[in-house]
Amino acid sequence: MLDYKINTFLTLCEELNYTQTANKLHITQPNVSQHIKSLEKFYGAKLFKYENRKLSLTEAGEKLQSLSIRLNADSKKIKAIMEDIEEEKENLNFGATLTVGEYIMPQIIEKIDLDKYKVSMRVENTEVLLKKLENSIIDFVIIEGHFDKSKYETYLFSNEKFIGIGNLNYKSEYKLEDLLNERLILREKGSGTREVFEHILFDNNLNTSSFKDIVEIGNMNGIQKLVSDGIGISFLYEKASLENIKNKKIRELNIVNLNAYREFNFVMLKENKNKNKYIEIFKMLQKLYV
Specify the CATH number for the domain of residue 26: 1.10.10.10
Q: Which residues of 168-204 are buried (b: 16+ CB within 10 A; e: fewer)?
A: eebeeebebeebeebbbbbbeeebbbbbbbbebbeee
Average pLDDT over residues 54-60: 94
pLDDT of residue 86: 53
Which of residues 81, 98, 118 is at a domain's end? 81
Query: Do 259 and 129 sit in the same domain of this protein?
Result: yes
Query: Do 138 and 279 sit in the same domain of this protein?
Result: yes
Query: Do 47 and 110 sit in the same domain of this protein?
Result: no
> Binning pLDDT at 50, 70 and 90, where does residue 23 land?
very high
Cα–Cα distances in angstroms (integers) from residue 272 to residues 134, 154, 204, 277, in the given order: 11, 12, 39, 10
> Are the beta carbons of 192 and 143 closer than 8 angstroms?
yes
Predicted TM-score (pTM) of this structure = 0.63
Query: Do 187 and 258 sit in the same domain of this protein?
Result: yes
Q: What residues make up the domain containing 259? A: 88-290
Mean pLDDT of the chain: 91
Query: Do 141 and 238 sit in the same domain of this protein?
Result: yes
pLDDT of residue 172: 87
Q: Is the pLDDT of residue 1 over 60?
A: no
pLDDT of residue 259: 77
pLDDT of residue 85: 57
Beta strands in the chain (DSSP E): 48-51, 54-57, 90-96, 117-123, 140-143, 152-166, 173-174, 183-186, 213-216, 234-237, 251-252, 254-255, 260-269
- Which of 47-61, 64-78, 273-287 is the least confident region? 64-78
Query: Do 62 and 187 sit in the same domain of this protein?
Result: no
Q: How far apart are the first and last CA of the chain?
A: 42
Query: Do 37 and 158 sit in the same domain of this protein?
Result: no
Query: Do 175 and 218 sit in the same domain of this protein?
Result: yes
DSSP state of 76: H
Instruction: Please count the CA atoms within 13 angstroms of the CA of 65 that sit on its side-chain side.
Output: 17
Which of residues 81, 113, 145 is at a domain's end? 81
> Binning pLDDT at 50, 70 and 90, where does residue 280 land?
very high
Nearest to 266 by CA among 277, 250, 255, 253: 277
Query: Do 11 and 92 sit in the same domain of this protein?
Result: no
Query: Do 112 and 239 sit in the same domain of this protein?
Result: yes
Query: Do 118 and 231 sit in the same domain of this protein?
Result: yes
Q: Is the pLDDT of residue 84 over 70?
A: no
pLDDT of residue 214: 94
Give the total number of structural domains in the chain.
2
CATH number, domain with residue 225: 3.40.190.290
Query: Do 107 and 187 sit in the same domain of this protein?
Result: yes
Average pLDDT over residues 103-120: 92
Most confident of 3-12, 62-71, 153-162: 153-162
Which of residues 61, 81, 101 is at a domain's end? 81
pLDDT of residue 131: 93
